[in-house]
Structure 1
Amino acid sequence: MDYSHQTSLVPCGQDKYISKNELLLHLKTYNLYYEGQNLQLRHREEEDEFIVEGLLNISWGLRRPIRLQMQDDNERIRPPPSSSSWHSGCNLGAQGTILKPLTTPSIQISEVDAPPESDQTLSTTDARGLKPLQEDTPQLMRTRSDVGVRRRGNVRTPSDQRRIRRHRFSINGHYYNHKTSVFTPAYGSVTNVRINSTMTTPQVLKLLLNKFKIENSAEEFALYVVHTSGEKQKLKTTDYPLIARILQGPCEQVSKVFLMEKDQVEEVTYDVAQYIKFEMPVLKSFIQKLQEEEDREVKKLMRKYTVLRLMIRQRLEEIAETPATI
């Protein structure tokens, strides 16, 4: 990539601009960090407009579940097979192939040798006049053949499979099904979306929701830049998320872009964030020191105005004692 010297300005928000030279330096650092990975960004100029494009990592930070669409656009709905028509697929295999009818194997029956004469002379009753116990004849229960209950397989052509993969993406391995169409993505799990530097925050949100076929409105969500220090900065509707990511730096251990609900998250400034991770005893000691400093300032001001009050009164007395001159 050519990172030559540039002098024009690139918009990074409403009434906010950055020089192209400075942006190219940030972009060079960004691409060096992701060298050899698909997260590297490319830039080009189109009609005198500087455009950066590539993948942007976005972490899920939702607290409430989201809803996935029941079906993809322009996808035909196939009625489920009837449970009473199991016999309709008796001659079909798992892939819809016709099975050959089963042939009955031929079994040769040989004559059984006649029992000994001593066995034939046994009486139906024994010496005590009791009938001998008869052995139970085992009976085979008639069962339905496993071949007969095979259903027609849902065979898709390679072009259909490519279209489905392109049309609906999984959220960290979670594909849509009727039982889990409403679910909450794992907090902190990462996804990505391909955007460019001319796309504003609402456009990126709509693109991300459309990628996963999420029914929720884009107005329910917002993008936040979250730092490890606890600082949370909400991206405005006029901001460009890809430019913001480049300016924040490539390392996601320092800051990440999160998708969150608007009404569930409050912005945290840097001044507040630097105290968030302290333990409670440390924070109490800070409050005590601030209270002591406040008391000292109050006493200092009281002494100052006490002296001024005395000076004013003394001057008024001097004026009252001086005779009026005509």
Structure 2
Amino acid sequence: MDFGGGGDLVPCGKDKFIPKNELLLHLKTYNIYYEGQNLQLRHREEEGELIVEGLLNISWGLRRPIRLQMQDDNQRIRPPPSSSSWHSGCNLGTHGSVLKPSTLPDIPVTDAEAAPSAETPGNGAGEPGSDPAGPAEEAPQLMRTRSDVGVRPRGSSRTPGEQRRLRRHRFSINGHFYNHKTSVFTPAYGSVTNVRINSTMTTPQVLKLLLNKFKIENSAEEFALYMVHTSGEKQKLRGSDFPLLARILQGPCEQVSKVFLMEKDQVEEVTYDVAQYIKFEMPILRSFIQKLEEEEDREVKKLKHKYSILRLMIEQRLEEISEGPTAM
């Protein structure tokens, strides 16, 4: 890879640019740090534009629970059976009541017809929480119930290919899979996830990609990305910033700085000047304040003395001007 040459400017935010050769040097340092790991970044040029792509680590810094989807987008929700339909061997009355088995008509069932019925789970109106693989599978007269992890489409068994596709589609947050019982969840503070992005994606685009990855129903407008330093400095990434470039320019070491996902209304930015005082103990901070107050008093006295002298000079000059015409 050629990391030298080129004086073109690369945009890294609103009215912010960096020379291409300088960015490539930062990128080289970044990849050396992550040598042999999947966090190394690649770059290419398209129509003269430098594009960097790869995984970006993002730490969870949420204080409030987030809402997760209770089912995947490709799952089907079956409507409840009508009052006049037969469902899993149960007859529903005109008002939705279940008739006794003695009132069921005598319908002969052959072996060929009985086998498929034992493999096809229904979707009755029983209480949630029962096990669909339990006695309900063996007794056709019992009401079928929904699983406690949401409504599932027909067919209790999946092929290995379908199971692999489902595992890929249903992401987890540090091993936590969303389901009916845990659709509200707070990720552990400081736990890390990652998303695959490129250097042309802005902060809002990265936020939406992260929320879609974990099927989070909250609006992206509720969150923001922050560059958090170990010194205590917190810098919010603006909507026009490019998070991947911001990470590269800050350096690869996450012991120095990390990208955090946080709520907008829960976090205040902390500048470098303020951050350098955060970790001091209260007695030391009070001594700083006392020194600053003493310095402020000295400066106030100097200003008062300076302007009192100027005032005397102006008054003397006004007296000379007023006495001039009288002397003539």
> Who is 2:291 aligned against?
289
- 1:84 deviates by 6.0
Name the CA distance, whole Å, in 2 between partners of 1:268 and 1:212: 29
Is 1:45 matched with 2:96? no
User: In the alignment, is residue 269 of structure 1 matched against residue 271 of structure 2?
Assistant: yes
**Paired AA for residue 287 in structure 1:** I
Where does structure 1 lack aligned partners over 5 or more consecutive residues? 90-152
**How big is the shift at 1:191?**
0.2
Amino acid at match of 2:287: S
SS in structure 1 of the partner of residue 279 of structure 2: coil
SS at match of 2:72: coil
Say if 2:7 is the partner of 1:7.
yes
Judged with a 3 Å threshold, the aligned counterparts in structure 2 of structure 1 residues 204 and 325 are, in CA distance, closer, same or farther, namely same
Q: Within 2, Cα distance between the matches of 1:17 and 1:317?
A: 60
Q: Say if 2:31 is the partner of 1:31.
A: yes
Give CA deviations for 1:234-273 in whole Å, capped at 9, x if unaligned.
1111111000000110000111000011111111111111
2:63 counterpart SS class: coil
More displaced stretch, 175-184 vs 30-39: 175-184
Structure 2: runs of 5 or more not aligned: 78-120, 124-130, 141-154
Displacement of 1:312 in angstroms is 2.6
In the alignment, the residues of structure 2 paired with residue 167 and residue 82 of structure 1 have an alpha-carbon distance, to the nearest angstrom, of 24
Pair 1:87-2:141 in alignment? no
The one-letter code sitting in structure 2 at the alignment partner of 1:291 is E
2:281 aligned partner: 279
Question: Which residue identity is paired with 1:284?
Answer: R
Given the superposition, is the C-alpha separation of residues 193 and 82 from structure 1 closer, same or farther in structure 2, using an over 3 Å criterion? closer
Task: Report the counterpart of residue 167 of structure 2 in structure 1.
Answer: 165
The amino acid that maps onto 2:259 is: V
Structure 1 residue aligned with 2:244: 242
1:102-122 Cα offsets, whole Å, 9 max, x none, are: xxxxxxxxxxxxxxxxxxxxx
Q: Distance in 1 between matches of 2:207 and 2:321?
A: 75
RMSD (Å), alpha carbons: 2.0
Closer, same or farther: CA 82–58 of 1 in aligned 2, 3 Å:
closer
TM-score (normalised: structure 1): 0.76
Inter-partner Cα distance in structure 2 for 1:57 and 1:231: 19
**2:198 aligns to what?**
196
Q: Alpha carbons of 1:35 and 1:323: their partners in 2 closer, same or farther (altered >3 Å)?
A: same
Whole-angstrom CA distance in 2 between matches of 1:48 and 1:305: 61
Greater CA deviation, 153-162 or 20-29?
153-162
Q: Which residue of 2 aligns with 1:129?
A: none
Alpha-carbon distance in 2 for matches of 1:266, 1:65? 19
The residue type paired with residue 260 of structure 1 is: M
Partner SS state of residue 195, structure 2: strand
Q: For residues 10-58 of structure 1, give each alpha carbon's deviation from its aligned partner in whole angstroms, at most 9, with x where no partner exists.
A: 1111222111101000000000110110000000011222100000000
Opposite residue 59 of structure 1, the aligned amino acid is S
Flag the structure with larger Rg.
1
Distance 1:3 1:38, change over 3 A: same
Please say which of residues 226-235 and 53-62 is displaced more in the overlay: 226-235
1:19 matched to which residue of 2? 19
For 1:233, give the aligned amino acid: Q
Partner secondary structure for residue 293 of structure 2: helix
2:275 is matched by which residue type in structure 1?
A
In 2: Cα distance, 1:249 partner to 1:202 partner: 22
Query: Is the counterpart of residue 178 in structure 1 residue 183 in structure 2?
Result: no
- 2: CA distance between counterparts of 1:295 and 1:263? 37
Residue 227 of structure 2 contacts residue 257 of structure 2 at CA under 8 Å; is this kept in 1? yes
CA distance in 1: counterparts of 2:197 and 2:215, whole angstroms? 17
The residue type equivalent to 2:296 in the other structure is: E
Per mean C-alpha deviation after superposition, the further-off stretch among 220-229 and 75-84 is: 75-84
Q: Distance in 2 between matches of 1:230 and 1:182?
A: 30
The alignment partner of 1:85 has SS state of helix
Q: Does the alignment pair 1:228 with 2:230?
A: yes
Distance 1:262 1:285 in 2: 33
